[in-house]
Structure 1
Amino acid sequence: VIEVCDLTKVKLKYCGVHFNSQAIAPTIEQIDQSFGATHPGVYNSAEQLFHLNFRGLSFSFQLDSWTEAPKYEPNFAHGLASLQIPHGATVKRMYIYSGNSLQDTKAPMMPLSCFLGNVYAESVDVLRDGTGPAGLRLRLLAAGCGPGLLADAKMRVFERSVYFGDSCQDVLSMLGSPHKVFYKSEDKMKIHSPSPHKQVPSKCNDYFFNYFTLGVDILFDANTHKVKKFVLHTNYPGHYNFNIYHRCEFKIPLAIKKENADGQTETCTTYSKWDNIQELLGHPVEKPVVLHRSSSPNNTNPFGSTFCFGLQRMIFEVMQNNHIASVTLYGPPRYSSVHLWPAGASRGHRLQREAQSLSLDSWTQELSTNKEAGEVNPCPMHIGKTWGSFCD
């Protein structure tokens, strides 16, 4: 979508005839003369905007700037409304897009010349079992030869799936080599872990596979070299990691626990807002953890803090405008060779202890990035409940 906010700074013409220039004002009469008849416009009474739509083109008129209030009749004739527009009303904004409707427009496919040997994700579906996320199913796009469905002359479309517990070799065979491998240097959330072994220094570090063109990070356990976390990035402007990752077009099924809604799921997408998700859940989500990205002399963070909400073995990092910045998916609690369980310990007791010992593993580092670690504000007014509750 191309949005023109100030038409006084550009000259525009259609079929070789100017409809906007220093000598010609883009009035509603001029638009009608240049483009001809079209479907009735749409009136937004809340914003006092009148939208006149053509194929691939929309004009917006600001009604509150007129001296006389427009007379709006919702039921005029033939099921249409009527709006009396004064003569000389000028265009406030113009939208240029591909398709029949501005609301339904989609970004065009990336040109093959921009692939440069990379693989991109058209969509990423989060697979889940009865307790939470189980893995990812990725629909991938690649240019050139290779196995897959031939979408056009040179583009290949194919699907791959990766799961919690997959080995490093499994992921490499499914997704190929990562753009970067990042080794964690510290775990700033270890202090909040209830595990008695939290003070024992680790002899090796967990590591990430960074797939920037997929918008996905995959964390591997340093001891088992198995997948333990996925991080999905939305790449919204105003976030600390903006323009590092390609946007991950994910779909996450959320289990809804309401009366008369047993087994019902709702889908969270890259474009969902957090307040809408809370409405779908039907119950208040626990208070967030405040995440501050640390700064250095050569790297500052002008975007402010974000908020982390724990939900169904996932952590949603939410920006101040309610957009989702990233989603971290946790695998199910598993037996760890690091813990020495008593011989008589039951499987239920082991799983309970493992669930309690799941630290938030440095949201700072793992929530998204392989940049500088952030710091979580431990102030009780921001936390509200124990850290262990975010690992449920």
Structure 2
Amino acid sequence: MYSLLNVDIRPGSGLGIFEIGDSLWAILDKLRSLQHMFPQVDVKYDPDSSAVTPVVVHIRPHLDLLFSGKGQRLHTICVHQLRDPNPPVILRYDDAIISSTDEVLRRVVVNRTFGPTYPGDDLRYPGLWFSFEDDSISEGIKGPQGVDRDQEVKRVFISQKGNDGKAGDALDEVAECAAMDGDAHQAIIKIHDGIVLNFFGSSKPLHIRLRETTAQDLTLDLGPPSKVHYKEDQRMTIHSSKQADDIDDRGYFYNYFQHGIDFLISDTTHVVKKIVLHTNIPGAPLFQQYKRCCWEIEGSPEDDEDDTPPRKRFHDRFETISHFLSPHGTPPSMILNRTDDEDDLTLPSPSTRLYGYDGIILEVTESSQVVCVMVF
């Protein structure tokens, strides 16, 4: 049973509970908690390059949400099938109903409500536009130019002001906005040292150092973790060259799902001993457990005066990052299947490969996308 969709239009800002600039992780988490309102949700993506290409969340039957490829931020909202009564959809603007099963949204209503705009096939306003093309009409095929004041609106789009739906806009990243405040927008990985986090809405970076930053420091700087998980999986210790005392220090994880980062903390010293940064790639076993962390691996500067050391980023292909970390060859890999402990989970490509380098491990999909980075 679908619920009535009764939403307000906010040009350039959002629609109902959806805010332009929200993360894919936050929106899908919200939809999961509202299954009674949105029971059927489809996530569509390009499996070969989902780290860099847009993601579309289709909420049947009325909504399509387009997320930017790299930032995974809500870019454009499309409302369609306005006359479909299963369920009915009501659109409001400034507390007035402009579309419902009883009120057909027509060109004259748009003109009366939003005022004059430039001529064209659609009616376009800053952060909002109205299309008279039906969903079944293919992109790029235009019907006769409509000048009929009673012409019926078929689709409504909400996006940031400046993203007006023209060619190329759908591939643009979302500009910084209020919905992003407090989120980490960049994590610079310094091998053998730690990470530097930069946040939206703040000019002050946060440096988290391996074997120095404590659990208390994390709580003070990032707030309480979403979850504290005590490390029980010791299968990787068979490959370790560390002393027995170090291996016995199993530690515990501070999970910050909202930042896409885990911190492994020592049982004995309570300092950070490993950092895991997640790319949140659709189709991967860990998809949607973590928000995308936009990490960058920093290399050594060319000289003492070089203030822009080279970096490789989360959306670079594995081969590029591997050559950056090890120019003389790719190290041997180990196969990891994260669905081994999940009897009811089936994925098209459940296996990933682990590649170990000096101070860093990459987890890589079959399509050469880096799922996560472990710094130790």
Q: Per the shorter chain, which TM-score range?
A: 0.5 to 0.7
Matched, 1:107 2:107: no
Q: Which amino acid aligns with 1:107?
A: V
In the superposition, relative to structure 1, how do residues 243 and 23 fare at CA in structure 2: closer, same or farther (>3 Å)?
A: closer
In the superposition, relative to structure 1, how do residues 180 and 266 fare at CA in structure 2: closer, same or farther (>3 Å)?
A: same
Q: Which runs of 5+ in 2 are unaligned?
A: 1-53, 57-63, 65-79, 83-119, 125-129, 147-161
Q: Cα RMSD (Å) of the superposition? A: 4.1
For the 8 Å contact 1:255–1:263, the answer to whether it is kept is no
Among 163, 179, 182, the residue aligned to 2:229: 182
User: Following superposition of structure 1 onto structure 2, how do residues 1-392 of structure 1 map, counting pairs within 5 Å?
Assistant: 14-15=122-123, 20-21=133-134, 30=142, 56-58=164-166, 97=170, 102=171, 105-109=172-176, 111-112=178-179, 119-127=182-190, 132-141=191-200, 151=201, 158-165=204-211, 166-194=213-241, 197=244, 202=248, 205-255=250-300, 266-280=310-324, 282-296=327-341, 299-302=344-347, 303-330=349-376
Deviation, structure 1 residue 316: 0.6
Cα distance in structure 1, aligned partners of 2:256 and 2:231: 16
Q: Which residue of 1 is the match for residue 95 of structure 2?
A: none
User: Percent identity at matched positions?
Assistant: 24
For the 8 Å contact 1:206–1:220, the answer to whether it is kept is yes
Which secondary structure state, in structure 2, belongs to the residue aligned with residue 133 of structure 1?
coil
Deviation, structure 1 residue 283: 3.1
TM-score if structure 2 supplies the norm length? 0.53
Deviation, structure 1 residue 322: 0.9
Q: Which amino acid aligns with 2:188?
A: D
Identify the structure with bigger relative contact order (alpha carbons < 8 Å, sequence gap 6+).
Answer: 2
**Structure of larger gyration radius:** 1
In the superposition, relative to structure 1, how do residues 168 and 284 fare at CA in structure 2: closer, same or farther (>3 Å)?
A: same
In the superposition, relative to structure 1, how do residues 110 and 180 fare at CA in structure 2: closer, same or farther (>3 Å)?
A: farther
In the superposition, relative to structure 1, how do residues 222 and 123 fare at CA in structure 2: closer, same or farther (>3 Å)?
A: same
Cα distance in structure 1, aligned partners of 2:135 and 2:189: 53
Q: Which residue of 1 is the match for residue 36 of structure 2?
A: none
For the 8 Å contact 2:121–2:131, the answer to whether it is kept is yes
Which secondary structure state, in structure 1, belongs to the residue aligned with residue 197 of structure 2?
strand
Which secondary structure state, in structure 2, belongs to the residue aligned with residue 322 of structure 1?
coil
Q: Which runs of 5+ in 1 are unaligned?
A: 35-53, 60-94, 142-150, 331-392
Cα distance in structure 2, aligned partners of 1:126 and 1:293: 24
For the 8 Å contact 2:295–2:313, the answer to whether it is kept is yes
Q: Which amino acid aligns with 2:196?
A: R
Deviation, structure 1 residue 186: 3.5
Q: Which amino acid aligns with 2:195?
A: L
Number of residue equivalences? 239
Which secondary structure state, in structure 2, belongs to the residue aligned with residue 189 of structure 1?
helix
Q: Which amino acid aligns with 1:319?
A: T
Q: Which amino acid aligns with 1:125?
A: I
